[in-house]
Each structure stands twice: as C-alpha cells, then as structure tokens.
Structure 1
Amino acid sequence: MKQLDKLMLRSFVGPFIVTFGIALFVLLMQILWLYLDDIAGKGLSFFLIMELLAYKCVGLVPLALPLALLISSVMVLGNLAEHYELSSFKSAGVGLLRVMRPLIVIGALSAAVSYACSDYVIPAANLQFGSRMYDIQQKKPTLNMEPGVFNEDFSQFTIRLGGRSDNGRDISDVLIYDQTKANLGELSEIMADKGVMYSAGDGRFFVMKLYDGHQYVEQRPGGASGRSTPFMRTNFASYTKIFDLSEFELQRHASSLFSTNRTMLSTWQLRQGVDSISLDIATRKQGLSNHLLAYLPELPRDTTVIRPPVAIAADQMAQPRYLDLGDSLALVENMEEKVDSSWRNAIPVVENNETKEALNRALRDKLMDHPLIFGRAEWPGLDSIVNSLTDEDRDRVYNRSRSSLRSVTGQAESAIRLLPGIEESRVKHVYDMHMKYSMAVVCIIFIFIGAPMGAIVRKGGFGYPILVSIIFFVIFIILTIFCRKLAESFVVNGVFAGWLPCVILFPVSLWITLRAMNDAKLISTEKLGQAYRRARDSKQVAALRRAVRKG
C-alpha cells in the first residue's frame, strides 16, 4: 500500500507544480491588463514591477490552487485509467477511494495553505500592492519632448519644440508658456530660435539653454485707478531655464492609509468590521427615532445602550453598573412587592366579594365627583383651537409645523439614502470573510470532482483533463460572481452567498465519485436510446395499423 501512495504522489506532484504555475501565470496576465494603463509610460524600474507582480501572485494563490488541483487530479487518474492501471488496482481489491487517499491528503493540505494565505499573507500583500499602485497612479509619466507637441508635464509650464536633432540635445523653434504667476494676472511667453536641453545634478534637474530669443510679459490692469501696466518685451542672447524633476519621482505613501480596505483585512478584522458596521446602523436608527421626540414628546425614548461608555478610573468616578436580565427581574419583583405592601396598608383586605364590589362602586362615585372629572368637556378638535388664534399666531404655528415637517423628512430621507450603502458594506464584509473559508473547502471538493472525472473519461495528458477542468472551474467562478451579486442586492444572506458555490458543487462531487466507484458513465444514454426505440416502434406499429385499416 505504501508503494501505491508513493506512485500517486510521484504522479501527482509534477503535473500539480506545472498546472499551478500555468494557472498563476494566466490569472496574473488577466489581472495585469487592468493595470497596464497605469504602469505604462511611468519609467518604473524592473525591480519595482517584479515587486508588484510578486504581491499580486500571492493574492492569486487561493484561486490558482483549486484549478491546479482539479487539472492535475484529472490528469493523474486519467493516465491510470487510460493505461488500465486503475483497473488493475480495482481487480486487486483496491477501491477508488483508497487510490485517491494521497490526493485527498494533498487537497486537505492545500485547503490549509489556502486559508493561511487568505487570512495572514494576502492581506499584507494586498496592502503593499494597493499602496504601491496608488503611488504609481499618482506619479507623472516620464518626460517626453516630442517635436510639434505641446508638453504639459511640468506644472504651470507648457513647452513646444519645433524641431529636435538626432542627438537629443539640440533643439530649435522653442516656445515656453510660463503660468507661475497666472493667479496675479501675469502671463509670460518665451520664444527662442535654438537651444540645447540636458539633465544635470544626477538626473535631478532638467536644463534648457536657449539662444537668440525673446520674452514677453503681459500684466492685467491693477491698482486703485485700474490703469493698465506696460507690455514688456525682452531680448536675450542666452537664457537658461532649470526645471526640478523631483515631481517625476515616485512618492511612497504610508501603507497604513489603505489598511481599512476589505481586501486587506484578516478574518478577525473583518469580524470586527461587521460588528462596527452593525453598531453604526443601530446608532443611526436610534438617532432617527429619538429625533422625533423634539416634535412628538409623547413618543417613548429609545434608551438602549448600543455603545457602552468608556469606563473611567475608580478614583475619578464610580463605574456604572449594567443590569442583566436576572437583576432586572429581581428589581421588578422587589418594586412590585413594595407597591403591593403600600397598597395593602392603604386599603384594608376584604375577603367578601360583595363588600369588595361595594367599595369599588363607592370609590368610582367619589372619583366622578372630583372637579377635574366633573368639569370635563368634549374635545373641540384641532381646527377650533387653530381658529381661536390670531392671524399672526396662526401663521407662526403653520411655519413652525412646516419647519418641523421639513426637519423630520430630511432626517428620514438622509437615513434612507445612507443606510443601504452601510448595509451593503456590511454584507460585503460578511461575504469576504466566509469566502476565505469557502475557497479553502473547494480545494477538497475539486479533488472529489477531478479524480473521478479522470477515472471516467480515461484520458490523460493536457487534452481532455484541461477541457473538463475548465468547465467545472468556470462554473465555480460564475457561481462565485453570481452569489456576490445576490448578496450585494440583499437577495440572500452574506453567509449563505459565501458558501453557496460549495453547497452546489459538493453534491455534484459526491455523484461523480459514486459513478466512478461503480464504473458507470457520467451520463447514461442507454435509457434514452431505449425510449427512442420504443417511440419509433410505436410510430411504425401505428402506421401499419392505419395501412391495414385502409386496405
């Protein structure tokens, strides 16, 4: 049996490494196209690009592992079945699950590696990739002086070259617009017939030395009198302009600025984020509810403590005590006992029912004779109260009512506008947290899909295995995207959406494994053929009967 395990491991490791590298490369190229416009033309060093690719490769490991396991398992079992080695194992009493045992162990180890990468390595890699990509996006393109093109790479300067020699230094017909003092109304223009350009200071400065040119300066009218200033024209034989190239360098920002993104959080950080968002939603709802108390004081105030106050030192202030359910019940029972005892002291205990009813009637008659009850009148209605006011007071009441309605409506509309976005962020946090587990579990599921499929198709190599694997992997990706959209649309719960691809593929893997263990085809066409033949025979019999009746 150990020889069988060694054989399976030797047969599996090679294709797994190759397919994992291919899957990682294909997924990386797919992602790289999204950032190609941000990277091209920025003059980035080779090592910086390799650093970005390394960070992105780490983030693609949980997606490349299941694909590599699926393809390699189909290839290994397909090769065994194609060369009748799997049939030899079965004839010797070795079942399919025993043959698959080393692959199942590798799948379990891959699931652990996938979860470890998703929870520990990928958040740090995504954090570094996000910060570096932001720095690259903010970086200006490399300086490129093309003849006949207005260049605006330098801030507040526009440069046009009429011509440039092959050596890259000599230039002619130079035009420079200087807008450094445009906020003061001063515009400057420099024109030169020829010149040279070069870098200095170890590439930190760009120098343009111009010859035989003119400088024009125009200022807008200013001063108290509004008189226009004279137009100035200066001729020069030689003029040197130095530009600082520090704005073209890559500015690195702190990685902590991007640490709150979902893709850069581990499982426990996502869980804390879900709790914080839930508290934020509850706080906003409570604030909206208590906001109505300013206009409707009869409503009960929501006194739920959503965020307990921070405990203060004992020497400064006694810590507040929050009652649990048992303490609250004991407090209520104690109050009821006190109320009952005080009521018993005020009213004598009466055992006779007739005497009790007589006391109740006497108490009711006494209350009805009270001045507050005796002088009661029917409610005249709101209109009569408003009509009793003067015109000035009535307008003041109406304006106050409109202002209150606008305030309440504004608060409600703000909550309606903000709460769905906050709830969507919470769902995304929940979905991303459970997808870390789901991507790990699918590694094991793909072993139970790929190995039986290899035993069924009985083809090795890169032909049928890749075709079969791509079909199941595309189905998994489609399910993942579809479930994400369902969760973000609040159709299903975020937890259920994260596990739904595994829930759908798990019964499929069991069915394929059972078919392979029974040496059955994936889809049996015998029953379909029998049904077709029966239908064809019935048509022929019916046609024969019609012919007999006509004859």
Structure 2
Amino acid sequence: MKQLDKLMAKSFVGPFVVTFAIALFVLLMQILWLYLDDIAGKGLSFFLIMELLAYKCVGLVPLALPLALLISSVMVLGNLAEHYELSSFKSSGVSLLRVIRMMIIFGATGALVSYLCSDYVIPAANLQFGARMYDIQQKKPTLNMEPGVFNEDFNQFTIRLGGRSDDGREISDVLIYDHTKANVGELSQITATEGEMYTADGGAAFVMQLYDGHQYVEQRPGGRNGQSLPFMRTSFATYTKVFDLSEFLLERHAASLFSTNRSMLSTWQLQQGVDSIDLDIAVRKQGLSNHLIAYLPSLPRDTVQYRPPVRSRAYDIDFVAQDSLQRATTEATLAAQAADSIANATVATYRPAEAAPPGGDRPDNGGATEQKRRKEAKTLAQTRQNNRLQSAQEHALVTGASDWKGIESLVDSLPSDDRERVYNRARSSIRSVTGQAQSTIRLLPGIQESRVKHIYDMHMKYSMAVVCIIFVFIGAPMGAIVRKGGFGYPILVSIVFFVIFIILTIFCRKLAESFVVNGVFAGWLPCIILFPVSLWITYSAMNDAKLLDLDLAKDAFRRARDHKQVVALRRMIAKS
C-alpha cells in the first residue's frame, strides 16, 4: 500500500466510525418514538430494552452506511482541499480519482456489507424484534394501586383503595367490584375497613388480606314473571382474595409465527414469495374461467395443473379403497351388461354349459369368458352412444336450425311454466358468473399489490448497497468543491443529498404500490437518478469547475439591465 493510500485510509476511518455511530443513533431515536407508547409503563427490564435496541440497530445498518460514507467522504476531501493538500496532489500529477481510490474501496466494501446484512442478518434481527414487540404489546402495564383511583388491571375486577400507607402494604377503605359471574346475572361487591396487600409465590400472586368488611351479592331476578329479587349480604372478620399475576408477565411467543412478513425474508425467499403469488393469481384466473364452463360447455377447459395435489396418507388409503370399490363396481356392471346381451342373443348362438364340447369355453372359464364379456359390453355401449347421437341429430332444434328466428322465438315456443323456469335459471347463472368475477376482481388488486411489495423490497436490498458507491462519488467531489472540512459544510451538503435519496425512495415505493411503475424499476430509480448527478459532480471536481457558475447568471442579468436602460433612453430621445 502506497503512502497516499495509507494517508487516505487513516483520514477516512476516524470520521467514518464517528459519523456511522451518529447516524445510527439519530435513526434509532427516530424509530424509537414509534414504539415508545408500547414500551412505556410495562415494567421492562434493562436487558430486554437493550435487546430490542440491538435488533433495531441491525436493521438500520443499510440506511446508516450510505449516510456515514457520504458525510465522511465530504469531510476528508474538504479537509484536504481546505489545507491545499489536494492542490499539491494535483500539481504533482495525481488525479482526483487516484486520490479517492481508497474511499472507493471503502464504498465497495460498505456495499458488500450492506447487501450481506440486508440478506442474512436483518431478516433474523427483524424476526426477533417483531416477536419481542408483539410480546410487549400483549403484556399489560405494571400493576399500580393508587389511592382514590379505580383500578381495572385485573380482568373482570375493579378495585378502589381509600388510603395506603407509605410502605405500600397497609390499606384502608377497600372497595372491590367482582364481575366474574356477570354473564349469569350475578354481581358481587366487597367492602372492607382495612387490610393488607402483598405479593406471594415469588411475585406470581397478588394477595389482598381484608379485615372487618361485607360482601354483597345480587343475583338474577327469578320466580314468576321475574318478581323475585334475591340479594345476599355476608359479614366477615377476615377475607383473603388472591389474584393471578401471570397476565402481567411477559409471555414469549415463537418467532416462527412472524416469519412470513416481507421484512423478515431474504432475497431468495422474496423470490419464492413472488412465484407463489404468481401461482395464486393463475389459479384464481383458472378457477374463474373453468367456472364459466358449467354455463357455457362449448368453452375449452383449462387443465393446467399449477400446484401438485397435497394429500395425507389417510387420504391416500381412503382413495385406494374407493378406487378398488369403484373398480369392483365397474367390473360387476360390465358382467351384468354382458349377461344381458348374451340372454338377448339368438337361440342359435346359445349353447348350454353341459352341451359344450370338450375343451370349449365354460361359464367358469376365467380369461376368455371375461374378455368376451368386456368386448360385448364395449360394443353395446358404443351402439347406445351412436343411437343417442343419431337421435340428437334428428331433433327439431337441429333439423330446423336453418329456419331459426332467434332465441326469443325459441323461448316463446316453450310453455309458460317452462319459459319462466328458463328465465330464472338464466338469471341465476348470470348472477353466479358475475359474483365470481366480482370476487376475483376485488381480490386480485390486493394480491398484485403484495407481489409488487415483494419485488420492490427484493430490489431495494441491491439498491441500498449500490447507493453506497454512488454516495462516495458524490461526497468526495463535493468536498473538493466546497473546500471546507469539519462538521459544518460537510453535514449540510450530505444531509441535502441524503434527504433527496430518502424522498426518492418513499416516492418510488408509492409509485410501485399504485401500479404506476414496475416494482423493479421503482427499486432502482433512486440510483438511476443519483448516478448521473455523481458523474457530473465528479467531472466538475476533476476539472476544477464550480458546481454552480454564478458568473454567467450575473453577466446575463447585467446585459438585461443595460438593454433596459438603453430602451428607456431611446424612448426619452424620441419624445424630446
């Protein structure tokens, strides 16, 4: 490694680590506000909160890497240009691309890390984060008994304390409403002058020991016409009420329950999801087209099998049994038909079994007799089919087709009862086909939107990696142009380009979800827009040109002002 590369590496690593940590912290705080309401008041441990933050930090790495590369590259080249070191390199014949070669290597490494993190680490981290957040959202807030406040933390219980000692154990003027039997019309109320409350069984139970109180129970009205109003009052010297605190504990669910979310899938899993959605769309369209065949038999049936049938072993055994039964029934039917054909044959062809010559076919001779019966049955079935076809061809609707005057004349020729039946069946068929089509049309946009989101998320993994290299070609030339180091101008310039990238990303996502552009194009559009900008800025920095040349604008403004003054002077001369 040459001295220039060592110098650029040492100058780049420090700002990159600092800016990456700052970017990660800022992005994490922005995300944390979204989950603050779910976390606050749940009594979570410090280690659980740190676990959540660690999972979320991993998910923010592909977003923090481009920002850190952009800021650090602007800072490094800005420092070199501000102290005229970049001018010294150029005067010695070193080009700008040679100077920033080490930063390009860092950008390519960052792109590789971003892709690997997005494809392997982030899905697992998002899966654990989603599972833990679901557990936290399902957890009840920490039990808090405040005097003078009705507490409803316990299911079907409402508790009010009149007073509580400083140690939190002694209580007074206790009122408890019990609604555990409200569904059967029984309401219960407990009052006590004083008592104690504490936890037992290692915090698994909450115990309220009450003294000198009463219990009132009001039951559902009974008797004839509900005139009986039963009421029961019980006095007690000591009453112990135990509440289960398991509902306040954090219950952990299996992370596999959330593994189908798009943010928890890798690129190959997203591609499998897209293929599965395509099959689902094809199956729905096939079902709609085949549904029409029940009403329009002339249409060809779509027999493409998109998914292999999934059958259990019990189903296979049952299918084999049904197939064996069907085969036995078919053979019995064929045998009966063959026997009928033989009985209806001429007497000359009938030969009793006992009169058969030696070696001839007998009724119990298995192979030849069975083949003969099947052949005769097949011939008989073919004859019947030909007779039905000939009868259909000789029908009046077929022979009079040339003189047909339309569907109305055909329906009018039917009796009134049959005509009404035909109309009702036609209306039912139309409603069925229309309902099936409307159901498919209503479901397809949601399925197609899910497909677009899968495609967009898959290509955004690649886009977020490529933008790391693009930001190096934006940040380093911008530092050479602004010629300012530190955290002032570099952060300002970097934030402008980073905000543009974020706006383009959100805008392209909306375009893809609205089916305005393709999901692949929407995922790559931010890079497509920023890549020419990076080439232009790099070209301007290599030629020591200004990013915005205001001299031309000043000259144009000066010429316009002079022209205006000349025109005014000519008007004054013409008037005089």
User: TM-score by structure 1 length?
Assistant: 0.87
CA deviation string 1:133-158 (max 9, x = no partner): 00000001100111122111111111
Aligned residue number for residue 507 of structure 1: 532
Q: Residues 108, 490 of structure 1: CA spacing in aligned structure 2 closer, same or farther, 3 A cutoff?
A: same
Matches of 1:424 and 1:154, distance apart in 2: 42
Q: Superposition pairs for residues 287-326 of structure 1, below 5 Å?
A: 287-308=287-308
Alpha-carbon shift at residue 217 of structure 1 (Å):
0.8
> 1:522 is matched by which residue type in structure 2?
L
Aligned residue number for residue 346 of structure 1: none
Matches of 2:503 and 2:495, distance apart in 1: 12
Aligned residue number for residue 143 of structure 2: 143
Q: Residues 518, 311 of structure 1: CA spacing in aligned structure 2 closer, same or farther, 3 A cutoff?
A: farther
CA deviation string 1:57-106 (max 9, x = no partner): 00000000000000000000000000000000000101100000000000
Q: Superposition pairs for residues 87-236 of structure 1, below 5 Å?
A: 87-222=87-222, 228=228, 230-236=230-236
CA deviation string 1:423-477 (max 9, x = no partner): 0000000000000000000000000000000000000000000000000000000
Aligned residue number for residue 76 of structure 1: 76
Q: Residues 374, 221 of structure 1: CA spacing in aligned structure 2 closer, same or farther, 3 A cutoff?
A: closer
Alpha-carbon shift at residue 128 of structure 1 (Å):
0.1
Alpha-carbon shift at residue 376 of structure 1 (Å):
5.4
Aligned residue number for residue 347 of structure 1: none
Matches of 1:194 and 1:375, distance apart in 2: 101
Aligned residue number for residue 480 of structure 1: 505
Alpha-carbon shift at residue 377 of structure 1 (Å):
3.8
Q: Residues 371, 239 of structure 1: CA spacing in aligned structure 2 closer, same or farther, 3 A cutoff?
A: closer
CA deviation string 1:206-250 (max 9, x = no partner): 111111110011111358986736311001111111111111100
Structure 1 counterpart of 2:448, from 423, 431, 438: 423
**Structure 2: gaps of 5 or more residues:** 314-318, 321-392
Matches of 1:522 and 1:223, distance apart in 2: 94
Q: Superposition pairs for residues 240-389 of structure 1, below 5 Å?
A: 240-308=240-308, 377-389=402-414
Q: Superposition pairs for residues 13-24 of structure 1, below 5 Å?
A: 13-24=13-24
> 1:174 is matched by which residue type in structure 2?
V
Aligned residue number for residue 339 of structure 2: none
Kept in 1: contact 2:221–2:230 (CA 8 A): no
User: TM-score by structure 2 length?
Assistant: 0.83
Partner SS for 1:142: coil
Q: Residues 179, 375 of structure 1: CA spacing in aligned structure 2 closer, same or farther, 3 A cutoff?
A: closer
In the comparison of the two structures, how many residue pairs are matched? 497
Are residue 411 (structure 1) and residue 448 (structure 2) matched? no
Partner SS for 2:109: helix
Matches of 1:122 and 1:441, distance apart in 2: 17
Q: Name the larger-Rg structure.
A: 2
Aligned residue number for residue 353 of structure 1: none
Q: Residues 82, 386 of structure 1: CA spacing in aligned structure 2 closer, same or farther, 3 A cutoff?
A: same
The Cα RMSD (Å) is 2.1
Q: Residues 311, 160 of structure 1: CA spacing in aligned structure 2 closer, same or farther, 3 A cutoff?
A: closer
Q: Which moved more, 1:495-504 or 1:192-201?
A: 192-201
> 2:155 is matched by which residue type in structure 1?
S
Q: Which moved more, 1:45-54 or 1:202-211?
A: 202-211
Alpha-carbon shift at residue 50 of structure 1 (Å):
0.2
Matches of 1:177 and 1:518, distance apart in 2: 82
Alpha-carbon shift at residue 311 of structure 1 (Å):
12
Aligned residue number for residue 350 of structure 1: none
Matches of 1:123 and 1:21, distance apart in 2: 22
> 2:236 is matched by which residue type in structure 1?
F
> 2:15 is matched by which residue type in structure 1?
P
Alpha-carbon shift at residue 511 of structure 1 (Å):
0.2
Structure 2 counterpart of 1:435, from 445, 460, 478: 460
Are residue 35 (structure 1) and residue 35 (structure 2) matched? yes
CA deviation string 1:312-371 (max 9, x = no partner): 99xx99xxxxxxxxxxxxxxxxxxxxxxxxxxxxxxxxxxxxxxxxxxxxxxxxxxxx99
Are residue 540 (structure 1) and residue 561 (structure 2) matched? no
Structure 1 counterpart of 2:556, from 519, 531, 538: 531
Percent identity between the two aligned chains: 80
Alpha-carbon shift at residue 540 of structure 1 (Å):
2.1
Matches of 1:310 and 1:128, distance apart in 2: 31
